[in-house]
Structure 1
Amino acid sequence: MLLLAVAIVVFIVVYQKKAHAMQVNLQQQELEHQQAMLGLVVASQETERERIAQDLHDEIGGALAAAQLIINQLRSNAASPQAQEMAQQASQIVGETVQNMRHIVRDISPAMLVRFGFRRAVTMLATRLEATGMLVHLQVDASVETWEVSAQLALYRIVQEFFANTLKHAQAHHLTLDITTVAGVLKLRMSDDGRGFALQPEGQGKSTGMGLAGIRARARVLNADLNLTSAPGQGTQAVLIMVTAADAVPVGALG
Structure 2
Amino acid sequence: MASPEEVAFGSLLFWGIGMMLLAAGCLLLFLFTYQKRLLQQQLRLRTAETEHQQALLAAIIEAQEGERERIGQDLHDGIGSTLATAKLLVNRLSSQPTPANSPELLALVEELMATAVQDARSISHSLYPAVLARFGLADALQHLVDIGNETGALPIALELHYPRPLPLRQELALYRICQELVHNALKHAKGATRLSVKLQQQGQRLTLSVEDDGCGLRAPAAGGLQPAGVAGLGLRNIDVRVQMLGARLHQPALATPGTHFLIELQTPE
Relative to the length of structure 1, the TM-score reads 0.69
Aligned mates of 1:174, 1:220 — CA distance in 2: 28
Counterpart for residue 120 of structure 1: 139
Counterpart AA for 2:206: L
The alpha-carbon deviation at position 234 of structure 1 amounts to 1.2
Task: For residues 110-139 of structure 1, give each alpha carbon's deviation from its aligned partner in whole angstroms, at most 9, with x where no partner exists.
Answer: 042324532222212211222316332223
Counterpart for residue 235 of structure 2: 212
Number of equivalenced pairs? 241
Counterpart for residue 196 of structure 2: 176
The alpha-carbon deviation at position 222 of structure 1 amounts to 1.3
Gaps of 5+ in 1: 249-255
Aligned mates of 2:127, 2:217 — CA distance in 1: 30
SS at match of 2:232: helix
Q: 1:32 to 1:8 in 2, by over 3 A?
A: same
The answer on 1:130 being equivalent to 2:186 is no
Q: Percent identity?
A: 22
Task: For residues 208-249 of structure 1, give each alpha carbon's deviation from its aligned partner in whole angstroms, at most 9, with x where no partner exists.
Answer: 436212111211221221123678x7111111122332xx7x
Aligned mates of 1:135, 1:118 — CA distance in 2: 21
Q: 1:133 to 1:102 in 2, by over 3 A?
A: same
Aligned mates of 1:229, 1:96 — CA distance in 2: 43
SS at match of 1:167: helix
Question: Larger Rg: 1 or 2?
Answer: 2
Q: 1:221 to 1:68 in 2, by over 3 A?
A: farther
The alpha-carbon deviation at position 34 of structure 1 amounts to 4.8
Counterpart for residue 225 of structure 1: 248
Q: 1:130 to 1:48 in 2, by over 3 A?
A: closer
Whether the aligned pair in 2 keeps the contact of 1:199 and 1:230 (CA below 8 Å) is: no
SS at match of 2:164: helix
Counterpart for residue 196 of structure 1: 216
Counterpart for residue 112 of structure 2: 94
Aligned mates of 2:157, 2:90 — CA distance in 1: 42
Counterpart for residue 44 of structure 2: 23
